[in-house]
Amino acid sequence: MSEEAATACEPDLNRSEPEESSDQDVIEGLKALDARLDKLTSQFDAKIRFDSAKEAAFDRLYRDLDEHREGADFAHKQGLVTSLLSMYDRIGEMLKAASVDPHRADLGNLQQDIVDALRMEEIELIEPETRLNLKTMQTLEVLSAASQEDDGVIAAIHRQGFAKRGRVLRAQTVSIYKFQQPTD
């Protein structure tokens, strides 16, 4: 074997240092890249959180604006609505008094027209119930009930109630039965 061949087979100690150095550089480069990726990830997460918070804030603002607009719109129409409710009541009283009046059907139609006009403004009649509901009713008169089962039962509706989107504008005025335990 020649001296050159023997030298070629021997490891070059000087050559391994640059490989270690270049491996070290690659590792450090990967660590730096990983750190930058972590930083980018946290920046993306922060941006996503910011965008979500901004979207929620805008949704809240739009909801508040709609509520304000609706409130202002209703406040503007409140006088008209109050007049229509009063007219509805007066026509109802006329219908009760006019049992055989030839204009009774016309009065009934006029009252229904008022209900239709109110419905266009999303104002609905409160549906009659069989028992007292303090959320939608106001008690005008309390009558004595014959039994415990009749306690809280509606005896009569004196004035119809109205609501807009679940909010009571005017409660139904009712008479109810109330059971009193006999005292011995």
Q: Using an 8 Å Cβ cutoff, are 159 and 125 in contact? A: no
Res 2: pLDDT? 52
Q: Using an 8 Å Cβ cutoff, are 55 and 47 in contact? A: no
Q: Give per-residue pLDDT as tens, 23-35.
A: 888 888 889 999 9
Q: Using an 8 Å Cβ cutoff, are 161 and 137 in contact? A: yes
CATH architecture of the domain formed by 125-184: Roll (2.30)
> What per-residue string of b and e applies to 99-115 under the rule 16 or more CB within 10 Å gives b?
eeeeeeeebeeebeebe
Res 3: pLDDT? 55
Task: Give the mean model confidence (pLDDT) for residues 95-124.
Answer: 87
Res 18: pLDDT? 53
Res 159: pLDDT? 93
Beta-ladder partners of 172: 137
Q: Using an 8 Å Cβ cutoff, are 172 and 163 in contact? A: no
Q: What percent of the chain has pLDDT over 90?
A: 46
Closest CA to 162 of 90, 61, 88: 88
Beta-ladder partners of 68: none
Question: From CA 21, how far away is CA 28, in angstroms rounded?
Answer: 10
Q: Where are the domains of the chain?
A: 1-121, 125-184
β-strand pairing of 137-144 with 172-178: parallel
Question: What element of type H or E holds 144?
Answer: strand 137-144
Q: Give per-residue pLDDT as tens, 66-100.
A: 887 777 777 778 888 889 999 999 998 888 887 77
- Mean pLDDT over all residues of the chain? 85
pTM of the model: 0.59
Question: From CA 163, how far away is CA 136, in angstroms rounded?
Answer: 9
